[in-house]
Amino acid sequence: MSRLTAEGLTLAYDQRTIAEHLSVAIPDHSFTVIVGPNACGKSTLLRALSRMLKPAAGAVLLDGQAISSLPAKQVARTLGLLPQSSVAPDGITVADLVARGRYPHQGLLRQWSAEDERIVQESMAATGVAGLADRYVDELSGGQRQRVWIAMALAQQTPLFLLDEPTTYLDIQHQIEVLDLCATLHEEQGRTLVAVLHDLNQAARYATHLIAMKDGEVIAEGAPSDIVTADLVGRVFGIECRIIDDPESGTPLVVPAARRPREAAAAASATAAATAGP
């Protein structure tokens, strides 16, 4: 079953078409990760799924209805998004920022219910930022800040949660911290997560469902252990590699082929030039 699907999408910025006839279905309760080389359209697809980008053709369906036709706040109660870049307002505290995640549940007369308060507390606890509640967001580290943004999206209480490159600009320690947090949210709270990641090995380790894209097309999708092969990595990323079992998790681990020594490469290209010559 899939609550979130895309059918026959054509995605374009101005005149530049990124993808055509793109269809995907996000399996419910999965941790889906979209991978692919730069400019393959993975972030564009995520933007379309999260209604940040209006498709030129086709439709994104949420529970069978076109997402663009649904009231904005109603969508925001079902589908959350961690954008690639957000701006923390000047002088805002962690608790106040996380509280903003409650916006789609609030109204002019219902601005701060007891439930809002409880869920904000829970979201901060789940992301490990409860101790930072009174700190100013702009004095936190990059990893802490990202967890605060995730806490804000959690406070939105959406069964579907989309993350656009949540680990970019973070060092390895914070990358793992954020991905572990995502895995916990997926396992313990049963939320459906969709993330765009750059690192193929991290994707293979954390994803339950992998979507590999290239040039605006889905090349393969499925469980990482089923679809990650040397052939697929070659086709999608254009690199030679070996796939071994990750000694930690048993998931596929991509080991790129070592660079050939300079002389060998030069000899190879010389031979190639000679055979291709007139």
Partner 1 sequence: MHARVKPDGSGTPGRPGESTAAGPRSGAPAGRRTRVVRTAGGLSLRLDLRAVLSGALLLAVAVAATVALIGSGDYPMTPSEVLTTLTGGGTTGQEFIVHELRLPRVLVGLLVGAAFGIAGAAFQAVSRNPLGSPDMLGLSQGASVGALVVIVWFHGEPRTVAAGAVVGGVITGLAIFLLAWKRGVHGYRFVLVGIGTAAMLYAVVLYLLTKSTLYDAARATLWMTGSLSGRDWSQVGPLAAVCAVLVPVALLCARPLRMLEMGDDAAAALGVRTERVRITVLLVAVVLVAAGTAAAGPISFVALTAPQLARRLTRAPGPNLLPAALMGAALLVGADWAAQRLFGADQLPVGVLTGVLGGGYLLWLLVAERKAGRV
Residues that bind partner 1 (CB under 8 A): 50-52, 71-77, 80-81, 83-96, 98-101, 103-104, 106, 108-114, 116-117, 120-121, 124, 133-136, 139, 153, 156
Looking at the Cβ atoms of 105 and 198, the one nearer to partner 1 is: 105
- Nearest approach in angstroms of CB 183 to partner 1 is 22
- Nearest approach in angstroms of CB 188 to partner 1 is 21
Looking at 112-229, list the stretches that DSSP marks H as alpha helix, in order from N- to C-terminal side.
Answer: 114-126, 142-155, 172-189, 200-206, 224-227
* Residues facing residue 35 across a β-bridge: 212
* Helix H or strand E encompassing 162: strand 160-164
- Nearest approach in angstroms of CB 73 to partner 1 is 4
**Spatial distance between the Cα atoms of 62 and 246, rounded to a whole number of angstroms:** 35
- Nearest approach in angstroms of CB 137 to partner 1 is 10
**Spatial distance between the Cα atoms of 48 and 81, rounded to a whole number of angstroms:** 11
CB count in 10 Å sphere of residue 253? 19
- Nearest approach in angstroms of CB 128 to partner 1 is 15
Q: What is the DSSP letter of 272?
A: H
Looking at the Cβ atoms of 42 and 214, the one nearer to partner 1 is: 42
Burial of residue 69, with CB atoms counted within 10 A of its CB: 0-12 exposed, 13-18 middle, 19 or more buried? exposed
- Nearest approach in angstroms of CB 118 to partner 1 is 9
Looking at the Cβ atoms of 29 and 100, the one nearer to partner 1 is: 100
CA separation (Å) from 113 to 5, 148, 267? 33, 21, 73
Looking at the Cβ atoms of 121 and 201, the one nearer to partner 1 is: 121
Looking at the Cβ atoms of 161 and 237, the one nearer to partner 1 is: 161
Among candidate residues 107, 97, 111, the one with its CA nearest the CA of residue 152: 97
- Nearest approach in angstroms of CB 4 to partner 1 is 14
- Nearest approach in angstroms of CB 7 to partner 1 is 22
**Spatial distance between the Cα atoms of 178 and 127, rounded to a whole number of angstroms:** 9
Token pair 């916006």 is at which residue? 103
For residue 222 the two structure tokens come to 């499925």
**Spatial distance between the Cα atoms of 52 and 44, rounded to a whole number of angstroms:** 9
Looking at the Cβ atoms of 90 and 263, the one nearer to partner 1 is: 90
Token pair 């079953």 is at which residue? 1
CB count in 10 Å sphere of residue 85? 9
Looking at the Cβ atoms of 148 and 200, the one nearer to partner 1 is: 148
Looking at the Cβ atoms of 163 and 212, the one nearer to partner 1 is: 163
